[in-house]
Amino acid sequence: MNSEIEGIKSQIEILVERVADLTLHELRENLDAGGEKASAKEKQLARARRSLEKAAHILSGLDD
């Protein structure tokens, strides 16, 4: 079971990176459009990334 959990955790970590990339892309687009504040989409992407990071951390605790 530990290898299955580790596999899921690895997939989540890949998703964290992908969401972080999307967040940076959204930030660049917002800045290029003259925005000064974080867009609603950027904020939601950041929340999603943090949630995924928390999920990976919780799964790490199951390996013990």
Nearest partner of 45 among 64, 12, 19, judged by Cα: 19
Residue 11 has pLDDT above 80, yes or no: yes
Query: What residue type is assigned to position 1 of the chain?
Result: M
Could you tell me the pLDDT band of residue 58, with boundaries at 50, 70 and 90?
very high
| Full domain range(s) for residue 33 | 2-62
Q: Where are the alpha helices (DSSP H) in 1-64?
A: 2-32, 40-62
- CB atoms inside a 10 Å sphere around CB 45: 21
What pTM, to 2 d.p., does this model score? 0.85
- CA pair distance 13, 8, nearest whole angstrom: 9
Please tell me the predicted confidence (pLDDT) of residue 13.
97
Domains in the chain: how many in total?
Answer: 1
pLDDT tens sequence across 14-54: 999 999 999 999 999 999 999 888 889 999 999 999 999 99
Do 16 and 53 meet the contact criterion of CB atoms below 8 Å apart?
Answer: yes
